[in-house]
Structure 1
Amino acid sequence: MRAVSGALLVAGTTSDAGKSVVTAGLCRWLARQGVKVAPFKAQNMSLNSMVTADGAEIGRAQYTQALAAGVEPRAIMNPVLLKPGSDRRSQVVVLGRPVAEVDALQYGAHKERLRGVVAESLAELRAGYDVVICEGAGSPAEINLRAGDIVNMGLARAADLPVIVVGDIDRGGVFASLYGTVALLDPADQALIAGFVINKFRGAVELLEPGLDRLAGLTGRPTLGVLPWRMGLYLDSEDTLALDAPRADAGAPYGRQVLRVAVVRFPRISNFTDLDALNCEPGVVVRYAASAGDLAEADLVVLPGTRATVADLAWLRERGMAGEIVRRAAEGRPVLGVCGGFQMLARSIDDEVESGAGAVEGLGLLPARVVFQGEKTLGRPRGRAYGEPVAAYEIHHGIVDVEGGEPFLDGCRVGAVWGTTWHGALENDGFRRAFLADVARRAGRDFTPAPDVSFAALREATLDALGDLVEEHLDTGAILRLIEEGAPAGLPVVPPGG
């Protein structure tokens, strides 16, 4: 491919429309053409995050997009990360470090400073890479938020970025949502909307053609491709909408050769990407649980990370799930706590930082005490467990003081209850197999982990598949022209209501 330089913004009609997937696919496709490409998301609201090699916290999706691009993930690829702790308050992470806890109204006071951080980060990326593929957030047509926008059309206008809009046809109403997205924008914003991509289509594309022609006639903008539905292409997700997506094992019957995992779906569940490696194991069925009954048949119950440890522990008790977990432990049935889930398993929690609740009684299943500190721990630790090497990452305010039990990574184990603050441990193939074999033995199952599953190889295969979808189903020539030349001049204004 000839030398290419420029940038593009991938927007979407809704959250979970496919922006992250299209961005990752474009990054992988361009990287395979020899283009030095980087992802960028100016502002991300997500409880799934990752730690870069230099100790900065960024959105998990941007971390994976950097892997798709074949470049080292950096804080400037996601300069602003919002981590909700309740319906109204979020932690603000800037260039990988937490700077404030604010509500929605207070956040507005930070916008001008953050606008500068975003502009400088994008400029640095554009100076260091041939192409930058930017991802929007939610919808660019959130007209109530347009004045302070720094991630959708506000960014596109500031940096003169051409924009493509992704719509998820699986939700229904894709033509109305694509048309309505353009029509709700003011003329200056509309001038940067250069085309559409339809995502998750099932069936014959020919059936769409009358609608595509009509959409082009109404908006003056082409559809640059239709991406087909592919089961199993699970990119690291940004929010819990992904937990509602259909899985290949949905409704699968249980047998003795199947290992059943129930993951507690906390209201503020975070880093549930920890469980993606289990989903990749043949014979492991992962389901999310919101009631005590959902835990009854599980061979392993996982308490995952959470942005609100004390509040979600109260939720666990209100639902009767805490009692069920304690009963399981007494019966020797396996329970794993990760980060916030580990903190809940401790004897006590002292939290004057995250919830302000002070001293709270934990579930008491592990000999540990937790004290929350203002400084957030961010790291990429390494260790061993079950005789296998483990590389992981940690993101937490709660410091766990282990007072007994058998060592397990940085935490401990008592009987069939394990706890660790390390995220990503299950992505280590040897450790995952050894841990699952131990769980199966304790649960009395005949399950044997597959000896040849490589989570890293499966992730690479997924990223390659996304690159293939871009190459095979998008008008890559038109996309390259947009990257290099920007949005075409003279695009028509679409009035609301047509």
Structure 2
Amino acid sequence: MNGALLVGGTSSDAGKSLIVAGLCRLLHRRGVRVAPFKAQNMSNNSAVTLDGGEIGRAQALQAYACGLEPSTRFNPVLLKPGSDRRSHIVVRGQPVGEAGARDYHEWRGRLAGIVAGELASLRAEFDVVICEGAGSVAEINLRATDLANMGLARAAAMPALLVSDIDRGGSLAHLFGSTAVLDEADQRLIAGYVINKFRGDPSILAPGLDMLHRLTGRPTLGVVPFSDELWIDAEDSLSTPVGRRVGPPEGADTSRPTVRLSVAAIRLPRVSNTTDVEALGCEPGVDVTWVDDPAAVRAADLVVLPGTRATVSDLAWLRARGIDAALIERARSGRPVIGVCGGFQMLGRRIDDPVESRIGPVDALGLLDVDIVFDPNKVLRQVSGTGMGHSISGYEIHHGRIGRSGEQPWIEDAVHGPEGAVRGAVRGTHWHGLLSSDAFRRKLLREMAVEAGKPGFVVSETTSVDETRNAQVDLIADLVGEHLDVPAIEALIARGADPRAPVITHSVG
């Protein structure tokens, strides 16, 4: 088998990332040399590659599903929203500037060549490339500058599957309408549909799928059921809802510790790298929930202040909601707080940011004796070292530098020197992924349980974040393998779209 496939969607968060990861793992299991690809991603949830580049977190997970190390080749263009109107542009893993929706078309010519070159290179090296679209394929107002959806499919002569999240309602109309608004050449590349997150009796849905087939001439190649066993984020941190529990569903673990730790992860407006809290969610005795109010911050045993793409403006948001006061109360009473990257910067004394916010020096929360100065040159690297007597590893993505610190470092970086800071029960670091180091996390949880007044908490000695992540990817592949017509999809990859596929005609007015 040799070829490529685009998995597009009727909307953002339709399940494209999940379907791509599942197909990648399925093909990898069968010995197919397969690679993921997303021409252009918009997300603040990112990962660092071995060569010091930055890509979308979903593509890092999809690479993992393929048995590959993350590479900038898998996501050559990454847009990181810094506000509702402007995004920072990352090309081949490195920041190159920023743009708004109106002036992004000026980048299109340059980026199109980069995208085409990377995809052609991957197709020459691998048997199969599974491409993920972005947002909705039906954003016809953006079609002229499209790099990731039908523009990519047309340029590379790829067939496309269209995925719809039935949990949102209106899936049949979304699939029909998304196909119908495309021009004839784009429509002919839409080869089939996938329904995602279905709940209930499939026999009730079947007549609707038959009617959709008659109306469009395209089959539904699978109905993937909703699964509450899937909880590891694959894509956009901005879709993370307040109140969402991070971890296996209630009652999933067989041994429920009688003493449990509650963790409040603060849902910042521009939160990034939400995957940092997943490591805590893996622990059977730890309950992690996304929150945005002072009461939840005060009530939790542990608070995590995660990364952000807009440190200064999200710090102002904390203050406007009164969360700053709740964090200061916790610190004064010796109750644990962890800040990661932008969250760590907020915990310091002062932030001087002429790069992202361009506001200049502002006072931070003052919980750590650390001054942060932003540098135009972004730190992008994988890191390793020692913390609390255990080997640790992670990655860094930040402009902020520790300009001055009167605190003890939290961790020792074997390559770049001491990193982070600690004062009492308040700890901070620029390292993402630190809590995925199992032995380090266990020792840290024991310490924080004592600080939280729960010395009876017993941490699991067997939890492995890597094994949990691998099990989640296998679960995705099992769902896809069981509920999609995989032979039909493999045939589609090998032969391409049918050039005689019917076109849905419509008129306006």
Structure 1: which 5+ residue stretches go unaligned?
none
Which residue does the alignment assign to 2:429?
420
> CA offsets, 1:257-289, max 9 Å, x none?
111111111110000110111111112111112
Which residue does the alignment assign to 1:405?
407
1:435 equivalent to 2:444? Answer yes
C-alpha deviation, 1:65, in angstroms: 0.1
1:199 equivalent to 2:196? Answer yes
1:129 equivalent to 2:123? Answer no
Aligned sequence identity (%): 56
C-alpha deviation, 1:315, in angstroms: 0.7
With over 3 angstroms needed to count, the CA separation of the structure-2 counterparts of 1:235 and 1:289, relative to structure 1, is closer
Given candidates 325, 331, 345, the residue that maps to 1:329 is 331
Q: Secondary structure at the match of 1:30?
A: helix
Which residue does the alignment assign to 2:291?
289
Count of aligned positions: 494
Q: Which residue identity does 2:189 align to in structure 1? A: L
Whole-Å separation in 2 of the counterparts to 1:361 and 1:126: 50
C-alpha deviation, 1:345, in angstroms: 0.7
Which residue does the alignment assign to 2:214?
217
Whole-Å separation in 1 of the counterparts to 2:243 and 2:489: 29
Is contact 2:375–2:399 with CA below 8 Å preserved after alignment? yes
1:277 equivalent to 2:286? Answer no
Whole-Å separation in 2 of the counterparts to 1:278 and 1:66: 23
Is contact 1:9–1:164 with CA below 8 Å preserved after alignment? yes
Whole-Å separation in 2 of the counterparts to 1:417 and 1:497: 63
Q: Secondary structure at the match of 2:498?
A: coil
Is contact 2:61–2:234 with CA below 8 Å preserved after alignment? no
Q: Counterparts in 2 of 1:67-466, with a 5 A limit?
A: 67-239=64-236, 240-243=238-241, 247=245, 249=249, 257-409=259-411, 410-445=419-454, 446-466=456-476
Whole-Å separation in 1 of the counterparts to 2:487 and 2:458: 48
> CA offsets, 1:189-240, max 9 Å, x none?
1000000011111222222111110110111000001111111213433222
Is contact 1:146–1:154 with CA below 8 Å preserved after alignment? yes
Whole-Å separation in 2 of the counterparts to 1:298 and 1:342: 19
Whole-Å separation in 1 of the counterparts to 2:334 and 2:199: 46
Is contact 2:243–2:289 with CA below 8 Å preserved after alignment? no
Whole-Å separation in 1 of the counterparts to 2:244 and 2:301: 22
Whole-Å separation in 2 of the counterparts to 1:496 and 1:300: 57
Whole-Å separation in 2 of the counterparts to 1:268 and 1:392: 21
Is contact 1:180–1:496 with CA below 8 Å preserved after alignment? no
Q: Which residue identity does 2:453 align to in structure 1? A: G
With over 3 angstroms needed to count, the CA separation of the structure-2 counterparts of 1:250 and 1:457, relative to structure 1, is closer
> CA offsets, 1:425-483, max 9 Å, x none?
11111111111111111001132211111110111111111221222111111101111
1:471 equivalent to 2:481? Answer yes
With over 3 angstroms needed to count, the CA separation of the structure-2 counterparts of 1:357 and 1:50, relative to structure 1, is same
Q: Which residue identity does 1:199 align to in structure 2? A: N
1:480 equivalent to 2:480? Answer no
With over 3 angstroms needed to count, the CA separation of the structure-2 counterparts of 1:184 and 1:391, relative to structure 1, is same
Whole-Å separation in 1 of the counterparts to 2:482 and 2:93: 36
Is contact 1:348–1:368 with CA below 8 Å preserved after alignment? yes
Whole-Å separation in 1 of the counterparts to 2:199 and 2:30: 28
Is contact 2:166–2:198 with CA below 8 Å preserved after alignment? yes
Whole-Å separation in 2 of the counterparts to 1:297 and 1:256: 18
Structure 2: which 5+ residue stretches go unaligned?
412-418
Is contact 1:8–1:161 with CA below 8 Å preserved after alignment? yes
Is contact 1:21–1:235 with CA below 8 Å preserved after alignment? no
Whole-Å separation in 1 of the counterparts to 2:243 and 2:10: 17
Q: Which residue identity does 2:478 align to in structure 1? A: D
- The TM-score, its normalising length taken from structure 1, stands at 0.96
Whole-Å separation in 2 of the counterparts to 1:246 and 1:85: 23
Whole-Å separation in 1 of the counterparts to 2:296 and 2:507: 46
Whole-Å separation in 1 of the counterparts to 2:296 and 2:168: 27
C-alpha deviation, 1:243, in angstroms: 3.4
Q: Which moved more, 1:255-264 or 1:354-363?
A: 255-264
Is contact 1:61–1:235 with CA below 8 Å preserved after alignment? no
C-alpha deviation, 1:384, in angstroms: 1.4
Is contact 2:18–2:234 with CA below 8 Å preserved after alignment? no
> CA offsets, 1:51-100, max 9 Å, x none?
01111100010011000011222111100000010111111000000000
C-alpha deviation, 1:106, in angstroms: 2.0
> CA offsets, 1:268-323, max 9 Å, x none?
00001101111111121111121212212111111100000000111111111111
Whole-Å separation in 2 of the counterparts to 1:246 and 1:186: 39
Q: Which residue identity does 1:489 align to in structure 2? A: P
Q: Which residue identity does 1:376 align to in structure 2? A: K
Q: Secondary structure at the match of 2:102?
A: helix
Q: Secondary structure at the match of 1:374?
A: strand
Q: Which moved more, 1:403-412 or 1:352-361?
A: 403-412
Whole-Å separation in 1 of the counterparts to 2:240 and 2:228: 13
Q: Secondary structure at the match of 1:175?
A: helix
